[in-house]
Amino acid sequence: MADLHTEVEERSQVVEQVEAMMSQVSPAAADVIIIGGGPGGYVAAIRAAQLGGRVILVEKDELGGVCLNRGCIPTKVMLSSADVYDIVTRRSTEFGVNVGNVTLDYAKVLDRRDKVVKQLVSGVHFLMKKHNVQVLKGTARLASRTAVEVTMPDGKKETVSGRNIIIATGSEPVALPIHGLEGENVWDSDGALRATEVPKALLIIGGGYIGVEWGYMFQKFGSQVTIVELMPEILPQTDSEIAAELRKILEKHGIHILTGSQVAKVEHKKGRETATIRGSGDSEQQITADKILVAVGRRPLSAGLGLEELGIATDRGKVLVNERMHTNVANIYAIGDVVGGMLLAHKASEEGVVAAENCMGGNSRMNYNSVPGAIYTTPEVATVGMTEEAAKKQGMDYKVGKFYFRANGKALGLGERAGFVKFIAGAKYGEILGCHMIGPHVTDLIHEVVIGMDAEATIEVIGRAVHAHPTLSEVVKEAALDASGESLHKG
């Protein structure tokens, strides 16, 4: 990556030549053309417009991209419905609330989801109009370093020119080459969203955050769920203690989890799917389900863009960029899932800001050390920075602080006592290397640590900061204090 950065910087003369050439282009030319209107692309458009840029945004589908239309937002709306249903049917008496006959109206769950998505998509359209961003609906292809050809839905083509181009085309679900893994009973995440009823039995291939969230949701809605994960533990990129804790909770709630296992083949029998699962030592078992959800990850959407013709460097579909989001071709940038790394909407948005600022003459750079991750099960999972396994592997001298939600008054009041907060900090200076949480509302709590890391605060700063009582945030404070053996409430 450093070599790529050096190569890009050495091409400053090419950038100047491009700008000189573009200064002679008609006034209708844009300062920035953005290909893709997801959370990376539309945020880049807004930021470039805020800086005075003339912006053209090309999107072949709906503004908001996968995240808003088929990913982050609709699934979180459905997860909220699953949590309400679970509380009413399973836990209401715990809070002294007795209810009568409760049923699930899945059609209404989907209707509510679609209304929320529609509202947010409308909001993105409003923002584009507010910032005078020209939106073109169509499929884009790079015609040159300063021009994009757009094929409209009716087949007509239009070429637009600009000083800079940002590629923000996102990603798509990965398919698996498994015999029999096909047909209407086999879903990817998009197929799961299109489902109009809850399957009685669901087999999920992949125990990452996508598979875990869908498994949690459908189990709460009444499905018999099995998750098959190739690695030794679910959530392979997460701190192992956090992953093990979530697995224990999911299994307690009835989800069957098979780790160190893979699907060898699938057979269609009488309208259902029977999967042969191969585990350690070539042991095999068969599981029959109504539907199979393939959730093994996503791959960059970069084919057909014309990258090869312009000499834009790629690696297995990923567009290679430096920390300024600059490709190896002057005035062309790339952001979001198409550049790989963490496939997160908020990471794409921040990359969009960085790229837009650089398009408009700035010198912004991405900092990936403090990008948080979030998983919206109950309990939630949130992470930022280095795991303990990574610190150990790198031979770092570190210390660990930990505190449990079961000792927190607010958590007990909420009836959410499971989970803990875990800090990884430098042993000598107390710098925060990472923080990993499982518990109630931790996807919100994590940002105290994110800001602390960006501000280069030590673990002692968070431990000594006054936290309101009773709040869940006290668990963060106590975990920080525990790193130095100073926790006030640890038994």
Catalytically annotated residues: 469
Overall size of the chain counted in residues: 491
**The pair of three-digit structure tokens given for residue 69, joined into one six-digit string:** 């239309």
CB 447 within 8 A of CB 362: no
Residue 445 neighbours by CB under 8 Å, 6+ apart: 382, 421, 437, 472, 473, 475, 476
- Alpha-carbon span 344 to 352, nearest angstrom: 12
- Alpha-carbon span 2 to 365, nearest angstrom: 13
**In 313-441, which ranges are continuous DSSP H helix?**
345-359, 388-393, 409-414
Angle (nearest 5°) at CA 181 between 237 and 304? 70
CB 227 within 8 A of CB 196: no
Residue 296 neighbours by CB under 8 Å, 6+ apart: 174, 176, 205, 206, 208, 211
Q: Is 346 exposed, middle or buried (0-12, 13-18, 19+ CB in 10 A)?
A: middle
Q: Which of 424, 401, 376 is nearest to 246 (CA)?
A: 376
Measured in whole angstroms, how far is the alpha carbon of residue 430 from the centre of its chain?
A: 29
Of the chain, the end-to-end C-alpha distance in Å amounts to 47
Could you list the beta-strand ranges (E) of 168-319.
Answer: 171-173, 186-187, 201-205, 224-228, 256-258, 262-269, 272-278, 284-289, 291-294, 298-300, 314-315, 318-319
Q: Is 461 exposed, middle or buried (0-12, 13-18, 19+ CB in 10 A)?
A: middle
CB 152 within 8 A of CB 158: yes
